[in-house]
A and B are shown apart, each in its own frame.
Chain A
């Protein structure tokens, strides 16, 4: 057990623990700020912790077509999100840096989305199937955007290693980084879709679909699903900060770490503001929007391959 293994274990546990601890807090902040924007006193900021603890103790009703698939989908979703947490730098170098490269990251991020599809298939009711078909349509146009951003970074630095790409590599050109700036705007405009908040939370629409894929889950499994949902916000914000706003990560341990989490908090507030003031989009409007962004991202990719 040499130093690097110990570092990997400790830092990995720290990352995972921090994501688990902080995800309901950010969700609570989101609900509270949404409530204040709607001029009402909202729930206390610790509310998601109470929700999760209560859900963990409720009775677990296994219904739906295939209960085994239900369990698999739940555990897979939380496991994927926490694995991504180990691959990302959260204020210090990523714990499992040598375990994979950027392609693994893209794969795991897509897997997070596929878990919702598995959950809906396992339930098998009409509303679930409609929900997952909409989620699938959205994913086809949405997931490539982050992949293109990462590939732009890889093209600029010429390597697929995690620590080089996730360090502001999109701006690593000689001259003005056009492709980097274009990708920054594109990702900012589609960020709500990645974290599945309004206006793009089409698959988990409560009023339209009775919560779609999650309809048949109750008790502990629902708690784990909600946990994965909250953790996705933290993961994607971390990824965004590492890729596009990396300045200040060179500072020494306490200060750099706090600055990092401050940046993540600002991003969460931005997500909240947009979520509280918009209505949910229909699936065809969402697909048209993402397809437009995809076209612009392809332009950025072409520019990146020419070194701009």
Chain B
């Protein structure tokens, strides 16, 4: 019964723990901006707490570095279930421009499972609020994969049986209609 109540109230009161594992602090400042009166995020019930044991959501910034990977994993394990992880910024989502550096292990996903991605360098405070609103279900997400194919049917289909000759010149004799 208590778990059901917790599920219902989860969206209304998220307690956030902020973990920076090696970033440049640009995204830190944007997260701090989100907590200021201008973009006040406390109106959704979100509060910044000081200990991962009190938190529901971990905001990760910065790529997973070799030196801080273990600490990040420990902070993630210390959070009580149910928990969410948000990766904020390009570094946390995919490694950023430092993805092939000697001390960077990669995106935060290599160390802990991530639920929501908020890309940007740094993401605007409105982008962070939008990401949180998508997680809470208030708005729909606006991105979808895009694919473009310039080759449409019919393209000449080359069946190996229809090719004669060898060397540089190969002759194609179409056997049947496509």
Tell me if B80 and A218 are in contact (CB < 8 A): yes
Residues 189-209 of A, flagged 1 when their CB comes within 8 A of B and 0 if not, give 000000000000000001101
Interface residues, chain A, with chain B CB atoms under 8 Å away:
31, 35, 38-44, 47, 50-51, 53-54, 56-61, 63, 206-207, 209-211, 214-220, 222
Tell me if A40 and B40 are in contact (CB < 8 A): yes
A207's nearest neighbour on chain B, judged by CB, is B50
Give B15 Cβ to nearest chain A Cβ, in Å: 8
CA distance A38 to B36 in the complex (A): 9
Interface residues, chain B, with chain A CB atoms under 8 Å away:
2-7, 9-10, 12-13, 15, 36-38, 40, 42-45, 47-51, 53-54, 56, 78, 80-82
Query: Which one of B40, B42, B54 has the highest number of Cβ atoms from chain A below 10 Å of its Cβ?
Result: B54
Tell me if B80 and A57 are in contact (CB < 8 A): no
CA distance A222 to B6 in the complex (A): 14
Tell me if B6 and A56 are in contact (CB < 8 A): yes
CA distance A38 to B12 in the complex (A): 22
24 cross-chain CB contacts under 8 A: A38-B37, A39-B37, A40-B37, A40-B38, A43-B45, A50-B9, A50-B12, A50-B45, A51-B13, A51-B45, A53-B5, A56-B5, A57-B5, A57-B6, A57-B7, A58-B80, A59-B81, A60-B80, A61-B78, A63-B78, A206-B49, A215-B50, A218-B53, A219-B80
Tell me if A53 and B6 are in contact (CB < 8 A): yes
Contact of B43 among A43, A217, A220 (CB under 8 A): A43
Tell me if B42 and A40 are in contact (CB < 8 A): yes
Give A53 Cβ to nearest chain B Cβ, in Å: 5
CA distance A210 to B53 in the complex (A): 10
How many residue pairs, one in A and one in B, have C-beta atoms under 8 Å apart? 94
Tell me if B54 and A218 are in contact (CB < 8 A): yes
Residues of B within 8 Å of A215, CB to CB, are: 50-51, 53
Tell me if A42 and B42 are in contact (CB < 8 A): yes
Residues of B within 8 Å of A58, CB to CB, are: 6, 56, 80-82
Known: A38-B37, A39-B37, A41-B40. A57 touches B54 (CB 8 A): no
Tell me if A54 and B13 are in contact (CB < 8 A): yes
Contact of B42 among A43, A63, A211 (CB under 8 A): A43
B36's nearest neighbour on chain A, judged by CB, is A40
Tell me if A35 and B42 are in contact (CB < 8 A): yes
Known: A40-B42, A215-B53. A53 touches B80 (CB 8 A): no
A34's nearest neighbour on chain B, judged by CB, is B42
A38's nearest neighbour on chain B, judged by CB, is B37
Contact of B53 among A47, A53, A56, A61 (CB under 8 A): A61
CA distance A214 to B51 in the complex (A): 9
CA distance A206 to B51 in the complex (A): 8
B8's nearest neighbour on chain A, judged by CB, is A53
Residues of B within 8 Å of A214, CB to CB, are: 51, 54
CA distance A211 to B10 in the complex (A): 22
Give A50 Cβ to nearest chain B Cβ, in Å: 4
CA distance A222 to B55 in the complex (A): 11
Tell me if B6 and A210 are in contact (CB < 8 A): no
Tell me if B49 and A211 are in contact (CB < 8 A): yes
Tell me if A53 and B9 are in contact (CB < 8 A): yes
Residues of B within 8 Å of A31, CB to CB, are: 42
Residues of A within 8 Å of B6, CB to CB, are: 53-54, 56-58
Give B19 Cβ to nearest chain A Cβ, in Å: 13
Query: Which one of A58, A214, A217 has the highest number of Cβ atoms from chain B below 10 Å of its Cβ?
Result: A58
CA distance A210 to B133 in the complex (A): 27
A219's nearest neighbour on chain B, judged by CB, is B80
A57's nearest neighbour on chain B, judged by CB, is B6
CA distance A238 to B8 in the complex (A): 34
Tell me if B50 and A210 are in contact (CB < 8 A): yes
Known: A40-B37, A61-B78. A56 touches B45 (CB 8 A): no
CA distance A191 to B36 in the complex (A): 28
Give B12 Cβ to nearest chain A Cβ, in Å: 4
A61's nearest neighbour on chain B, judged by CB, is B80
Residues of A within 8 Å of B37, CB to CB, are: 38-40
B53's nearest neighbour on chain A, judged by CB, is A218
Tell me if A42 and B43 are in contact (CB < 8 A): yes
Residues of A within 8 Å of B5, CB to CB, are: 53-54, 56-57
Give A303 Cβ to nearest chain B Cβ, in Å: 44
CA distance A40 to B47 in the complex (A): 14
CA distance A54 to B4 in the complex (A): 9
